[in-house]
Amino acid sequence: MLARFVLPLALLAAGPALAQTVAASTPKAPAGAPSDIYRSAVRIEAAAQVPDYQTPWNSGRFGGGIGTGFIIGKNQFLTNAHVVSNARRLLITIHGGSRKYPAQVKYIAHDCDLALLEVEDFSDFEKLPVFSFGEVPQLESQVRVIGYPIGGERLSVTRGVVSRIDFSAYSHSRADQHLIVQIDAAINPGNSGGPVVQDGKVVGVAFQGLRQADNTGYIIPTPVIRRFLKDISDGHYDYYVDLGASTFPLYNPAMRQALKLKDDGNGVLVTDVTPTGSCEGVLKPGDVLVSIDGHEVDSAGQILLDGEKVDLNEVVERKFAGDKVALRWLSQGSWNDKDVELKPLPPARMYAIQYEKKPRYTVFAGLVFQPLDTNLFATSKLDDVNVRRLYTDYVPKGIFTERQDIVLLTRVESDPVNSQLGGFAGKAVDKINGTVVKSLKHAHELLNPATPPEFFVIELFGSPRPIVLPGNAIAAANKRVSETYAIDHLSNLEE
């Protein structure tokens, strides 16, 4: 998965000296741009606090970084979500200025790595020019990346050529894929959120680079930016919709013959249809999707859109909840046509890194329970095969329809009442006192009844025996654990 190999620019290590980077003490503006347009590219200083998922009752560690933003309207500064994620303080500086302006996040979209900031007082920015947006740059055309990369305090401009237009992973969330433009500009950490300009207009936002290659950067193109801005126009961000179907390429001639398909290089095999998703009851595994919104789907799952071959999901990417998409597919020898209403798939966010949220947990006699998600996977060693299966199958197999959370016993804080239970850590909870656990809140309720039972029996997936704790010893154990490990609150059930 590409997300393992790319990182947001703010997280990449510094590279060698950049021959193409121009120190911009008095840079020339792009053709057709106002001479002072560079003043509208601002430096962002962020102080952040990252939650601690290993000991979730702690406040987390502090950190910080530098990024770039740019003015797109009255008191509107566009930047990357990863520049301002988990921010506790944001300061904006104008190019050539010394004053630091306090700022705050107005809207943030972690799934497409974009955010809109505002300052407390915009009056000093009123006379600065506003960046306007262009179209997706053509292959082999030249662009300029404007930003504040590491290696200096002043503005920097990097020139590069568009080398690829693709539908690929956005590393900030580790789960989302959108349209992406690759350029050979030598961009560095700190460029994140900076405008990528062509003919005086913004054609993208710099946001991540490839660790294994020099002079390779990626920008968020304008279709993604425009969708974000349209989404927030009603005052809140609603996330992307999802087709709710997975497909597999149909290159193999024998497979095409078995499906009674022409050898025309078109059509992809439907492999999974997500329960409760947009296509539930419409498509089914084994169907062959041949067209989406009138765009012919080739055997690689691509369509021709705006003169470029892109993933078929790019059609869905540009739509919103309630919009419809026209599908044409072959099912058991019969052709079918239907307009499908698109909707988000909230359970799929379990696969994405979460930000600006406190870890959920509950502590019970030293046993720490947490919901399974990608944040936990990223910070803990979860190698139990049952946990990995539950994680993988959570959306495709519809586990989320029965269990809102997969609850894990993540650690055991030592106490006399829980001795000899170390081997249970890292396993998923199936039942508590015979009741199937549906969520962390449900587990908390089962563990804290009005009248404690004689014994609490906790059954774990893949464990040959349950955990059994005496009910009359829990209150004293909770008090000891709270004092011994300085746990002020034994639970946090809200995000």
Q: Among the listed ranges 6-20, 114-128, 307-321, 481-495, which one has the minimum average pLDDT value?
A: 6-20
State yes or no: pLDDT of 22 exceeds 60. no
Q: Other CB atoms closer than 10 Å to residue 172's CB: what's the count? A: 30
Average pLDDT value for the chain: 90
477/18: higher pLDDT: 477
Please indicate, yes or no, whether residues 334 and 380 belong to a single structural domain of this protein: no
Domain closes at, from 292, 316, 341: 341
In which band, very low, low, confident or very high, does the pLDDT at 208 lie, cut at 50, 70 and 90?
Answer: confident
Task: Report pLDDT for 213.
Answer: 65
User: Of 181, 213, 234, which residue is a domain's last?
Assistant: 234
Shared-domain flag, residues 393 and 480: yes
Q: Are residues 266 and 307 in the same domain?
A: yes
Q: What is the mean pLDDT of residues 111-120?
A: 97
Q: Is the same domain home to 303 and 194? A: no
| Boundary residue ending a domain (292, 311, 341) | 341
Count of Cβ atoms closer than 10 Å to residue 402 Cβ: 8
Same structural domain, 217 and 78: yes
Flag whether the pTM goes above 0.75. Answer: yes
The reply to whether 12 and 146 lie within a common domain is yes
User: Using an 8 Å Cβ cutoff, are 53 and 370 in contact?
Assistant: yes
Instruction: Assess whether 82 carries a catalytic annotation.
Output: yes
Task: Clarify whether residues 307 and 422 are in a common domain.
Answer: no
421 or 343, greater pLDDT: 343
Q: Are residues 378 and 311 part of one domain? A: no
Residue tagged active-site, from 113, 298, 373, 415 = 113
Are 74 and 210 in a shared domain?
yes
Confirm whether 174 is domain-assigned. yes
Distances (CA, A) of 42 to 32, 93, 150, 165: 20, 6, 15, 27
Q: Length of the chain in residues, anyone?
A: 495
- Looking up residue 446, the CATH number of its domain turns out to be 3.20.190.20
Which of 40, 192, 278, 299 is labelled catalytic?
192
Annotated catalytic residue within 82, 95, 172, 442: 82
163 is a catalytic site residue: no
Pair 145, 192: CB distance under 8 Å: no
Residues 332 and 381 in one domain: no
Q: What is the pLDDT of residue 154?
A: 86
User: Is 488 an annotated catalytic residue?
Assistant: no
Do 168 and 78 lie in one domain? The reply is yes
What integer pLDDT is reported at residue 186 of this predicted model? 64
Q: How many domains does the chain have?
A: 3
pLDDT, position 55: 96
Q: What is the CATH number of the domain that holds 153?
A: 2.40.10.120
**Number of alpha carbons in the 13 Å side-chain half-sphere of residue 208:** 26
Mean pLDDT of 464-470: 96
Structure confidence by residue, pLDDT tens digits, 219-240: 999 999 999 999 999 999 998 9
**Range scoring the smallest mean pLDDT among 30-44, 425-439, 463-477:** 30-44
CA 68 to each of CA 34, 101, 258, 382: distance values in angstroms, whole numbers, following the listed order: 19, 14, 54, 36
pLDDT tens digit sequence for 183-200: 997 667 889 999 999 999
CATH number at residue 323: 2.30.42.10
CA gap 71, 55 in Å, rounded: 39
Q: What range does the domain containing 434 cover?
A: 358-492
Q: What is the pLDDT of residues 393-421, one digit of tens each?
A: 999 999 999 999 999 999 999 999 998 88
β-sheet bridge partners, residue 87: 48
Same domain, 392 and 262: no
